[in-house]
Chain A
Amino acid sequence: MPTKSQQEIDRFARDLKPDVYQSVYGGTKATTEKRYEVLFRDYPDPDLLRQTAGQIKQHTLENLDKYLPQAEAALKANGAQVHFASDGDAANRMILEIMKANGCKSMVKSKSMVSEETGLGHYLEDNGMKCLETDLGEFIIQIDNDHPSHIVKPVAHKNRRDIAKSFEREGLGDYNDDPETITRRARKFLRGKYFEADVGLTGANFVSAESGRLTIVTNEGNARFCMAATPIHIAIVGIEKLVPHDRDLALFTALIGRSGTGQHLTSYTQFIGGPKREGQPDGPEQMHVIFVDNKRTEVLASQCSEILRCIRCGACLNVCPVYRQASGHAYRSVYPGPVGAVLSPLLAGSRFPELADLPKASSLCGACNEVCPVNIPIPDLLLRLRDKAKTEHAEKAMKGTPPMGMFGLLASQPHAWRAAMTMGAAMNLTPDAIINIVPPAAAWNSCRQLPKWRGGKFRNWMKSRSKN
């Protein structure tokens, strides 16, 4: 039954269409099960791997001032051009300038969460450039003028019938909701576009500071086409993507596929360290790497720096019971789910209050931490952000949460507490401050019933025994 709610994510979940719920719930549950199966079949102690990976990332973050220049030097030595963008706008401008300077008109683009942060696609279109998404999910989002709802599976909220309708509308063939047919049609359409484009854009999953080598994983091979078919490769990369050494990549490539999609390894794993060298038959003639800060140094200095370890595998979204009920769009930001509930309000900077409710949308069950391949203590970070919201009087976060001032007072005064306990029984009515433990009646009673008040009974029993 629908219940009134003051929290946006809760209302979103309440009003979610059954179709969307089915897509999200079914997809995330299946992926979670696959992840578990593969990880535990392949490794005797996956937890140890998660912890190791977390430590490597944390170490890298704490020494970014060393590793970032190292990566820059290595990339330059390989012949790549390296740029630093302080925020999303700066990154977008740099990309536009590179395109203009080389007389480029069109871009093929593989999946990149940073480019979602910066809104690159729309920016380029607004500035007269063509920009085509080549990841199947992102391509569907693009033709539907929609937003991704999952960081690995952007169309987690759609089913194949939705997608078949979109393809029909776009003239990509008659209605056909067979997944293979859909994929084949997209492939046929996209294949030619790679060759028409002047620029290929990718993200990077990892960057080795040692060699400057970028690791890019996909399941469709589209990143590889973007780099191979165009003369200019631009990689847009968050500064937190560094790892110290090439050898670390073994661990991270092993974890990202298994955690994200339950695969031993993603279907395509690309390593690229620079543009085409002399004598090399193909590859881009120019390679630009743009390291994007976009509030990351602020996050690094905050109490939630651990969130920057994130390798965007999506495992925490898949396992999250709130994400499953609410879907990604409920989070109103580029990063949904548990990782988003921490990262999005932080990346919002001074607009923190607008997203301060996200950390409240969690039962703090800890499933996210349990699956996270870099062992991010997400529940702890959510709690820190709740404290931050309260301290900074972010109204959105407080809505619907019973005020705790009275509770704090009562629970630190034993006499008052005891009186309240027995009073509750006498009046068969619970004093407000205590019911805050098991909070406001209306929201509670919407789908639950409270047991009978039995305050004081246990204390009397204890007392009667000590007298004997």
Chain B
Amino acid sequence: MATCLCDAFFDDVAKATVQVLEYLGVEVEFPADQTCCGQPAFNAGDWKASRKVVRHVVDAFKGEDPVVIPSGSCAAMLFHGALLEFEKEDDLPEVQQLANRSWELLDYIVNGLGVTEWPGSFPHKVSFHRSCHLRGTCSGPAALQLMESIDGLEIATFGEAEQCCGFGGAFSVSHPNVSGKMGQLKIENILAADPEYLVAADMGCLLHLGGIVDKGGKNLPRFHVAQVLRDALISANLLPAD
């Protein structure tokens, strides 16, 4: 699943995801009927609208294959949120079936495929923002494990790393002041660590943090972990640069 943010803004992240998975020998299908995971409406409290979208997701991703998602929050929507809003619905079993085979990308690579090391090099200092939807899942450690195994990649840790970036979907507009202040604080902490790139595994966080950086006229390039993995592959000639 590409996620709607990649569909709308971050096509290169989706591309990198496909390339990384294919390098690992995974055959990637992209069901053209996919739209969004339903999370915006779910978080906004409009579960009726959200269930409509989730039903569509169930339909678009029929079958037994794993559904791999380059976003912690969209993945969590499928394996956790959707179950919550379908608790009392008749089609809960179908949603549960999809939940059982939904994976966040890095969790899938490390714990699904058993790949724990990554070839190539990425000679840069990066800060990794552990998105909140990775809390309590295996994705955060998986992302770090892979990145730490890449030649030349240096992780710059920063203060208050546990804190949320302040995005929160509709929260970012219903509570623009709190959301903005949370984001500023995060950016200050990250900039203090002086990384070359800000890396995360959720484009929601990066959209929000990137928006604050750009608005403030600061310079902090952003990367999804998939893009780092892809560039490392290119550096080792395991993937053609295009």
Evaluate whether A361 and B178 lie within 8 angstroms (CB atoms) in the complex, with A404-B50, A411-B53 already known. Answer: yes
A448 touches B44 (CB 8 A): no
**B89: CB under 8 A from chain A?**
no
* Chain B residues whose CB sits within 8 angstroms of the CB of A250 once the complex forms: none
Render B167-193 as a binary contact track against A, CB cut-off 8 A, 1 for contact. 111111111111111111000000000
| A9 CB-CB contact with B under 8 Å | yes
Is the beta-carbon distance between B177 and A408 smaller than 8 angstroms? no
Contact, CB under 8 Å: B178 / A453: no
Interface pair B10/A454, CB less than 8 Å apart: yes
Whole-angstrom distance between the alpha carbons of A402 and B171 in the complex? 10
- Nearest CB of A to B71, in Å: 12
B208 adjacent to A448 (CB under 8 Å): yes
Q: Are B173 and A402 in contact (CB under 8 A)?
A: yes
A13-B177 CB under 8 A given contacts A404-B50, A459-B32: yes
**Residue from the list A10, A437, A452 in contact with B5, Cβ < 8 A:** A437
Interface pair B164/A455, CB less than 8 Å apart: no
Of B34, B160, B180, B207, most A-chain CB atoms within 10 Å? B180
| Among B6, B49, B170, contact of A458 (Cβ-Cβ < 8 Å) | B6
Quick check: B45 and A412 within 8 Å, CB to CB? no
Contact of B85 among A5, A363, A387, A454 (CB under 8 A): A387
Q: Answer yes or no: A340 CB below 8 A from chain B CBs.
A: no
- Residue-wise, chain A 427-445 has the 8 Å CB interface mask toward B (1 for contact) of 0001000101111100111
Interface residues of A in 353-373 (CB under 8 A from B): 359-367, 369-370
Taken together as a complex, chains A and B put the C-alpha atoms of A386 and B170 apart, in Å, by 12
Say yes or no: is A249 at the interface (Cβ < 8 Å to chain B).
no
Q: Could you say which residues of chain B place their CB within 8 Å of the CB of A367?
A: 132, 135, 162-164
Contact check: which of B53, B133, B176 meets A443 at CB < 8 Å? B176
Chain A residues, Cβ within 8 Å of B55: 412
Once bound together, how far apart are the Cα atoms of A430 and B207, in whole Å? Answer: 15
Q: Which residue of B lies closest to A405 (CB)?
A: B49
Q: Does B238 contact A (CB under 8 A)?
A: no
B241 within 8 A of A: no
A279 interface hit (Cβ, 8 Å)? no
Query: Are B174 and A401 in touch, CB under 8 angstroms?
Result: yes
Instruction: Name the CB-closest residue of A to B242.
Output: A461
Contact A439 B85 (CB under 8 A): no
B15 touches A390 (CB 8 A): no
Tell yes or no: A446 within 8 A of B by CB. Answer: yes
Q: List residues of chain B with CB within 8 A of the CB of A185.
A: none
What separation, in Å, do the CA atoms of A400 and B8 have in the docked complex?
23
B43 to nearest A CB, angstroms?
A: 6
* Interchain CB contact under 8 A, A405 and B46: yes
Q: For B46, list chain A residues within 8 Å (CB).
A: 387, 390, 403-405, 408
Interface locus among A68-76, A155-163, A224-232, A319-327: A319-327
Whether the Cβ atoms of B44 and A3 lie closer than 8 Å is: no
Residues 217-257 of A at the B interface (beta carbon under 8 Å): none
B21 on the interface (CB 8 Å rule)? Answer: no
A457 in contact (CB, < 8 A): yes
| With A383-B43, A407-B40, A408-B53 as contacts: A366 and B15 at CB distance below 8 Å | no
Closest Cβ–Cβ distance, residue B167 to chain A (whole Å): 6
Judged by a CB distance under 8 angstroms, whether B211 is at the interface is: yes
Give B37-74 as 1s and 0s: 1 = Cβ < 8 Å from A's Cβ atoms.
Answer: 01011111111111011011000100000000000000
Pair B175/A9 contact, Cβ less than 8 Å: yes
Instruction: Return the chain A residue nearest B209 by Cβ.
Output: A448
Residue of A2, A445, A448 most packed against chain B (CB within 10 A): A448
B98 within 8 A of A: no
For the complex, what is the distance from the CA of A215 to the CA of B60, rounded to whole Å?
55
Q: Is the CB of A411 within 8 A of B5?
A: no
Tell me which residues across on chain A come within 8 A of B47, comparing CB atoms. 387, 390-391
Q: Does A281 contact B (CB under 8 A)?
A: no
Q: Any chain A CB within 8 A of the CB of B210?
A: yes
Question: Which residues of the other chain, A, contact B7 by a CB distance below 8 angstroms?
Answer: 421, 455, 458-459
Q: Which residues of chain B are near A458, meaning CB under 8 Å?
A: 2, 6-7, 11, 14-15
* B contact residues around A397 at 8 Å (CB): 45
Residue of A with least CB distance to B180: A447
A462 at the interface (CB under 8 A from B): yes
Within the complex, what minimum Cβ distance (angstroms) separates B57 from chain A? 9
- Looking at the assembled complex, report how far the CB atom of B139 sits from the nearest CB atom of chain A, in whole angstroms: 13
**Complex contact A411–B4 (CB within 8 A):** yes
A454's partner among B11, B166, B173, B174 (CB-CB below 8 A) is B11
A383 → chain B closest CB, angstroms: 6
A263 within 8 A of B: no
Contact of A439 among B42, B132, B172 (CB under 8 A): B172
Q: How far is the CB of B144 from chain A (nearest CB, A)?
A: 18
Quick check: is B114 within 8 A (CB to CB) of the other chain?
A: no
Residues on the B chain within 8 Å of A462, using CB: 18, 30
Nearest residue (CB) in A for B17 is: A458
> How many angstroms from the CA of A366 to the CA of B140 in the assembled complex?
14
Q: Closest 7 A-B residue pairs measured CB to CB?
A: A363-B168, A408-B49, A386-B45, A448-B211, A365-B164, A400-B174, A447-B180
Q: Can you list 14 A-B contacts with CB-CB less than 8 angstroms, sorted by A residue number?
A: A321-B164, A362-B171, A365-B163, A365-B164, A367-B162, A390-B47, A401-B44, A402-B170, A402-B173, A404-B50, A407-B49, A411-B36, A417-B35, A462-B18
Other than the known A361-B178, A453-B9, what 16 A-B pairs have Cβ atoms closer than 8 Å? A3-B176, A9-B178, A322-B182, A326-B178, A363-B167, A366-B133, A384-B84, A387-B47, A400-B173, A414-B34, A414-B35, A421-B8, A438-B8, A446-B176, A451-B211, A455-B8
Residues of B within 8 A of A (CB): 2, 4-11, 14-15, 18, 30, 32-36, 38, 40-50, 52-53, 55-56, 60, 81, 84-85, 132-133, 135-136, 160, 162-164, 166-184, 207-208, 210-212, 214-215
